[in-house]
Amino acid sequence: MTVNQDTITSTSGVDNGVNVEALLGARDALADAPEIAQFQWRSTVSWVNGTHSRAAVKTFYGFCEEQRHSKSFSFDMDHPLQFASHDNGITPAEVVLVALGGCLTAGIAAVAQQRGIQLRSVLATVSGEMDLHGILGADPQVRNGFGGVAVHYVIDADATTEEIEALVAQSQKRSAVYDILTNPTSVTVDVA
């Protein structure tokens, strides 16, 4: 979920499958109607059993009205067998890494389209270090989350190494999930 703010240069013959004109049109529309930019993303998560839960994603709010995905998406999460659990899905920590890789990769495609760079392949290897002393409550000095996260890209594109590095840098600059990881967000949790 990343759109950069460059002007379109030359995109003749380049097709990364991103409708940059529509995205730039949306940005232009904000000048007259800034309220259309207020979005709310949602998920409902139901406990199944043990550490197994199932998330559904169907609706969101934006462009001043209720919106729907074209279908309801469902995701199972669990802890692995090595944690005496059942591995019915990946762990929530891994889900965060999935989100980060997806956000930066979509951004690279959007920026490449704007810059007239044809992509052939983009592969991100995302890893997050975690010291379980945190979540196991064994050491109050150790955080529950990642000690650090690394993303390594291998990109095949019709561009120089410097141009490819600039694509990745611009994607980072406009990435929602990169921001969510690197900066604090207020989270409230309550029970009805």
User: To the nearest whole angstrom, how small is the minimum distance from the Cβ of residue 31 to a copy of itself?
Assistant: 8
Shorter beta-carbon distance to a copy of itself: residue 116 or 151: 151
- Look-up of token digits 């199932």: 54
User: To the nearest whole angstrom, how small is the minimum distance from the Cβ of residue 158 to a copy of itself?
Assistant: 14
What are the phi and psi torsion angles at 120 (to 5°)? -110, -45
Shorter beta-carbon distance to a copy of itself: residue 115 or 168: 168
| Cα separations in angstroms, 139 against 84, 132, 142, 143 | 22, 9, 6, 9
Judge whether 94 and 157 are in contact, CB under 8 Å.
no
User: To the nearest whole angstrom, how small is the minimum distance from the Cβ of residue 125 to a copy of itself?
Assistant: 5
User: To the nearest whole angstrom, how small is the minimum distance from the Cβ of residue 83 to a copy of itself?
Assistant: 7
Distance, C-alpha 184 to centroid of its chain: 16
Shorter beta-carbon distance to a copy of itself: residue 10 or 17: 17
Shorter beta-carbon distance to a copy of itself: residue 11 or 175: 175
User: To the nearest whole angstrom, how small is the minimum distance from the Cβ of residue 74 to a copy of itself?
Assistant: 10
Distance, C-alpha 19 to centroid of its chain: 19
Q: Is 150 left (phi over 0), alpha (psi -120 to 50) or beta?
A: beta
For the chain, give the number of residues: 192
User: To the nearest whole angstrom, how small is the minimum distance from the Cβ of residue 38 to a copy of itself?
Assistant: 6
Q: Which residues contact 167 (CB under 8 A, 6 or more apart)?
A: 108, 111, 112, 115, 117, 155, 157, 159
Judge whether 46 and 39 are in contact, CB under 8 Å.
no
Write out the two tokens for 138.
């064994």
